[in-house]
Amino acid sequence: MAPEQADPTSRLEGLGWWVLLVGLSIVLAVLFEWTALPAGLLVGPMIAAIAVGAFGARLALPPMASRGAQAIIGCLIAASLEPALFTALLDDWPILLAATLATLFASGALGGLIARFGILPGTTAIWGSAPGAASAMVLMADAFGADARLVAFMQYVRVIMVSVAAALIARLFVDASGIEAPPVPWFPPLEWGPFLTTLTVATAGAVGGSLVRLPAAIFLGPMLVGIVVHAGFGLPLQLPHWLLAASYVVVGWSIGLRFDRKVLAHAGRSLPQVMLAVLLLIGFCGGVAWLLVYLLGIDPLTAYLATSPGGMDSVAIIAAASGRVDMAFVMAMQMMRFLIVLLMGPPVARWFAVRVR
C-alpha cells in the first residue's frame, strides 16, 4: 500500500496562514512600539495570533521554539537583578515587605472575588490578578494548570491600564514632554563571553530544572541559575534586543494561537469586571503609596511608582524619565513583589482555588 501523501492544498493553506500571521504581527508590533504601548513586541504578535485563530487557522509552534523563548525570558529576569537592588532590599526590608504584602493581599482578594462570582475560573483569576511581570505570570500560570489565554488577557489589560495611569500621574509631578526614550540598539556587537554565558545559563537551567522536576522548569530553571551566575558570581549576561524580541514574539504567538471564538467571547464578557478590578487595585496601591508618604516622608512619585501594581519595565522607564525618583527604592519594591509572587503564587493559587469552588 502506497504511503499517504500530504495534501499540497492543505500545506499551501497553512503557509498562507503563517504569512498572514507574520505580516500582521509585524504591523501590530511596529504600531504598538511606535505608540509606546507596554510590551508591544509581545502583545502585538499575541493579538495577531488571536485574530488568525479566530478566523479558523490551526497553527502550532515547534515545542523547542516555545521552550527556548521561555528560557530566554527567565535569563532576562535574572539579568535585571543587580546587586544594588539587594542592597536596597536589605536597607528598607520592613517597609518594602509590609507594602508588598498589602498589595499582594489586595490582588489576591480581587482575584478571589472574580472567581467567586464565576467571572473566570479560580486559579486563572488568581494568576491573572497577580501583580508581577506579566510574561512570567503567564508562563507560571500555564505550568500550574491555569488557562494561560485568560491569564494573558487579564495580565495585559492590567499592564496597559496601570502603565497609562502611572504615566499620567508622573506628568502631575514632572514635565516629561521633552523627554524621548533613547534609541534601542537592535543589533549590538556581540560580547561573546556574556552572550555564551547567557546561552549556557538558558540551556543548563532548562535541562537542570526539568531533571529536578522544578515547577515551570523551562522558565524558573534558567532564572534561578541566572541569579546565581549574575547576581551571585557577578558574571554579566548579554541579551541583545533581537533575541528578546524573537522570544517575545514566540511567547505571544504561543498564547494567541490557543484562543478560539468561544474563549474570545468569554474574555469579552469579562472585560468590564476585569477593568473594574484593575481600577480598584490601582486605587488600593495609591492608598498604600499615600501611607508611605504620610508615615515615612517618601517622595510621592517614588512611593506611587514603587507600589504601582505591575508593568515593571514600564514603571522603570517612567521612573528614569522623571529624573527625580529614587530608582533603587522603586525597583527594589517591584522586584521584591515579583520574587514573592514567584515563591507564593502556586500555593496561594491552590488555596484560593479550593475555597472558591
* CA gap 149, 215 in Å, rounded: 19
Q: By C-alpha distance, which of 154, 106, 153 is closest to 348?
A: 106
238 close to 194: Cβ distance less than 8 angstroms: yes
- Per the CB < 8 A criterion, the answer to whether 78 and 201 are in contact is yes
pLDDT tens digits along 91-112: 667 877 888 888 888 888 888 7
What cell does 112 get? 478571589
| Residue among 318, 290, 293, 287 nearest 305 (CA) | 318
Query: Which is it for the CA torsion 42, 314, 263, 107, positive or negative?
Result: positive
Q: What's the rounded Cα separation, in Å, for the pair 56 and 298?
A: 53
Asked whether the beta carbons of 182 and 176 are under 8 A apart, the reply is: no
What domains, with CATH codes, occur in the chain?
A: 14-176+191-355 (1.20.1530)
| pLDDT, tens only, 107-146 | 888 887 887 777 777 778 878 887 766 666 777 777 777 7
pLDDT in tens, 36-57: 665 678 778 888 988 888 887 7
Neighbours of 315 (CB within 10 A): 27
Give 10's contacts (C-beta < 8 A, 6+ positions apart): none
Contacts of 202 (CB under 8 A, 6+ apart): 68, 71, 72, 74, 75, 222
Question: What mean pLDDT, rounded, does the chain reach?
Answer: 78
Choice between 223 and 22, residue whose per-residue pLDDT is larger: 22
Q: Write out pLDDT tens, residues 278-321.
A: 888 888 888 888 888 887 778 888 888 888 886 665 566 566 55
Looking at the chain, list the stretches that DSSP marks H as alpha helix, in order from N- to C-terminal side: 8-34, 40-54, 63-79, 83-91, 93-116, 122-129, 134-143, 148-173, 192-211, 217-227, 241-256, 261-296, 300-307, 312-322, 327-355
pLDDT of residue 9: 46
Q: DSSP states of 237-259 as a string? A: ----HHHHHHHHHHHHHHHHTT-
Q: Is the pLDDT of residue 177 over 60?
A: no
Helix axes of 93-116 and 261-296: crossing angle, nearest 10 degrees: 150
